[in-house]
Amino acid sequence: MAIQTPQAPQAVLGSLADDLATTCLALARRFWAGATMWCTAPAWPQHAHHVAVEFVHPVIMGKRALPAVAITDPDPVSALRTLARQGDVMVAVANADDRQVAAAMRRARAWGLETVWIGAGPRPDPGAADHVLWLADEDPGRAPHVGSFVLIYHLLWELVHVCFEHPGLLRAQDECTDEVCITCSDEGHLGEVVAIGPSSEATVRTATGPALIDTTLVAPVELGDLVLIHAGTAIELVEGVRV
């Protein structure tokens, strides 16, 4: 029987080095600020548990335990809606066709979460997550079972701790101080409807906290709807994600 020789990390990860470095720095900054990591993998719950264990279990002397929790609910949206806080992190291990993970990724933006999506095969749509760590050339049916994903999140854990050794990297980035006209700027952001008020008002959960908006342009809205907001007004109902 032929024995398969394990591939070197460089051979498995290829061009992922830059993406890994960017992701690890973002996670380190979030953890430094007090974030909790929420781990989900609806098709392979063992990976959600494994990611959480890597971060919460300080296997190297002197390394800090980081708060991480595995979400085993097959519908991560319902679990994360009540558990996740603004500033937390969500890590998903799933292929691009996982509809539950895709819905959670969309809503995570309204909840103020930093998102990481680990997978293989065809990539998710651009912008589906803040950080995409993808093995595009790997068989999506094989990758979860041969250690490819495990290698990625092991490196995530190790490199986050490397970032901790350089506290200057962890300082909050300076925010833009340029004045922007809220009326004529093109900026739009997501909000999840959490309460419906009189007339055309609704309260939404956004990445910066709750906000009262006008829903005249998209009315009627329902609890749980995801809307695109501009200048205090819902301008579009995001389709396909109502729960």
**Domain harbouring 105, CATH code:** 3.40.50.10490
Range of the domain at 215: 189-237
C-alpha to C-alpha distance for 189 and 107, rounded to whole angstroms: 11
My answer on whether 85 and 16 are in the same domain is yes
Residue 2 confidence (pLDDT): 45
Look at residue 68 and tell me if it is in a domain: yes
Residue 189 confidence (pLDDT): 87
Residue 7 confidence (pLDDT): 52
pLDDT tens per residue across all 243 residues of the chain: 444 444 555 555 667 889 999 999 999 999 999 999 999 999 999 999 999 999 998 767 778 899 999 999 999 999 999 999 999 999 999 999 999 999 999 999 999 999 999 999 999 999 999 999 999 888 999 999 999 899 999 999 999 999 999 888 887 665 554 555 554 455 788 999 999 988 889 999 998 889 999 998 988 899 999 999 998 999 998 864 554
The structural domain count of the chain equals 2
Residue 3 confidence (pLDDT): 45
Look at residue 77 and tell me if it is in a domain: yes
C-alpha to C-alpha distance for 147 and 40, rounded to whole angstroms: 17
- Give pTM, 2 decimals: 0.84
My answer on whether 45 and 101 are in the same domain is yes
My answer on whether 152 and 194 are in the same domain is no
Look at residue 180 and tell me if it is in a domain: no
My answer on whether 25 and 83 are in the same domain is yes
My answer on whether 95 and 201 are in the same domain is no
Where would I find the beta strands (DSSP E) of the chain? 37-40, 68-71, 89-93, 114-120, 131-135, 189-196, 201-206, 209-214, 226-230, 233-237
How many C-beta atoms lie closer than 10 Å to residue 165's C-beta?
A: 8
